[in-house]
Amino acid sequence: MKRRRFLRDAAGAGLALGSGLASLSAAPPLPGRDSDLSRVEAKYYRKLPDREIECLLCPRLCRLGDRERGYCGVRENVGGTYITLVYGKVCSFNVDPIEKKPFFHFLPGTPALSVATVGCNVNCKFCQNWEISQVRPEQVAHRDMSPEAVARAAAEVRYPSIAYTYTEPTVFIEYMMDTAAAARKRNVRSVVVTGGHINPEPLRDLLEAVDAVKVDLKGFTQDFYTKYVRGELRPVLDAIRAVGRSPAWLEIVYLVIPTLNDREALIRKMAGWVRDEVGTDVPVHFSRFMPMYLLKNLPPTPVSTLERAREAALDEGLKFVYVGNVPGHPAENTFCPGCGQTVIERAGYRVRETHIEKGRCDKCGETIAGVWT
């Protein structure tokens, strides 16, 4: 996967010296890089006696003493006040096709200004971006960008949306919500790419601020979430349900990992749950796994497995089911559930042709669910 980070891991970049002590002595230690972390008070926590706090942002409910950080590594108890260390500290800043998130039914063919800070509240063994998600803010170089600066950057070049992505936006929720508010004033929309490991109250607030949410449903058993995600499945399902019942547009990605979460019965169960809980119009993307991070012992997902998963989900009644991370695959296209016409033809992340007019198939008039303008 191509990641265009404008800044690389500063710790890695600093390894100019040899490994011997003699060479180290040539370069006296510099001041720590943590001096410019943000000190903005976090939301979603409660104070406890003896300067302790309990974080209420995600299902972990980290209980922290003074000077301790949560599981995410980016929120710290400082003398009984909980602060976010990453407010406005952008480690990745790119322009991506919105299809890369992926959103296939939300402003297709448009660019999304994509931002991230470091941090994540789970630890997936197959993480694609672990060098920025599974680190602490001191360990990665960042750029200071106020919410207003991000919104202005998108508006000035007429990007229709800002995507909070690459890492886990939940952990920088304060920055995300302020940026989304600034963007909305400029008619720029906000889309979130998340694992959905978030508590109901912050999610409720977030859904008032943003326009679309893509949830990575990483498996469909608690056992999988325990072993490979280090998180809880139930809150993720609750989050999907909450997004599905909100005005925000919802899409779901299911990364299919050979032998771990690819059984057809499981896929059918998941698809049936989506159908029953959030409806058949919600797009589901079956993405191809590539070995990386801590899960290198498995092969890439066979394309045939993804195709079988897609067939099973369609059979369960879902209308828009895609195959992802397989450039050029026909199932990247959107087909009209009424007449079967290709209504959006894609080539990788590019949209080549669209046959949707005012939200309907231009051949048969069938409504195609999505946000098209």
Partner 1 sequence: MGASRVVIVRAPGLWTSSSGCADPSAVTNMFRRGFALLTGEKSDRQALSTVFRPDDRVGIKVNTLGGKVLTTGPDVSLPLAAWLAANGLQEQNLIVWDRTNRELREAGYRLSSGRGGPRVFGTDAEGAGYAPELVAHLSVGSLFSRIQTDLVTASVSLAVLKDHGLAGVTAGMKNYFGAIHNPNKYHDSRCDPFVAEVFDAPPVKPKHRVSILDALVVQYHRGPSFHPQWAEPFGGLIFSLDPVAADTVGREVIERLRAAKGLPSLAEEGREPAYLATAERMGLGRADPGGIEIIEERLP
Per-residue x/- track, 81-120, partner 1 (CB under 8 A) = ----------------------------------------
| 293 is a contact residue toward partner 1 (CB under 8 A) | yes
Phi, psi of 213, rounded to the nearest 5 degrees: -135, 130
| 236 is a contact residue toward partner 1 (CB under 8 A) | no
> In the bound complex, what is the minimum distance in angstroms from residue 218's beta carbon to partner 1?
16
> In the bound complex, what is the minimum distance in angstroms from residue 68's beta carbon to partner 1?
7
> In the bound complex, what is the minimum distance in angstroms from residue 48's beta carbon to partner 1?
11
Bond preceding residue 327 cis, omega within 30 of 0: no
For residue 342, count other CB atoms closer than 10 A to its CB: 17
For residue 338, count other CB atoms closer than 10 A to its CB: 16
| 30 is a contact residue toward partner 1 (CB under 8 A) | yes
Per-residue x/- track, 130-169, partner 1 (CB under 8 A) = x---xxx-xx------------------------------
Spell out the SS3 assignment of 37-81. CCCEECCCEEECCCCCEEECCCCCCCEECCCCECCCCCEEEECCE
> In the bound complex, what is the minimum distance in angstroms from residue 25's beta carbon to partner 1?
5
> In the bound complex, what is the minimum distance in angstroms from residue 21's beta carbon to partner 1?
6
Per-residue x/- track, 47-76, partner 1 (CB under 8 A) = ---xxx-------x--x-xxxxxxxxx---
Tokens 């828009």 found at: 320
Take residue 210 and report the two structure tokens written for it.
């943003």
Query: CA–CA separation, 141 vs 164, rounded Å?
Result: 18
Query: CA–CA separation, 88 vs 253, rounded Å?
Result: 28
3-state secondary structure of 154: helix
| 8 is a contact residue toward partner 1 (CB under 8 A) | no
What are the residues binding partner 1 (CB under 8 A)? 10-12, 14-17, 19-21, 23-35, 50-52, 60, 63, 65-73, 123, 125, 130, 134-136, 138-139, 230, 293-294, 296
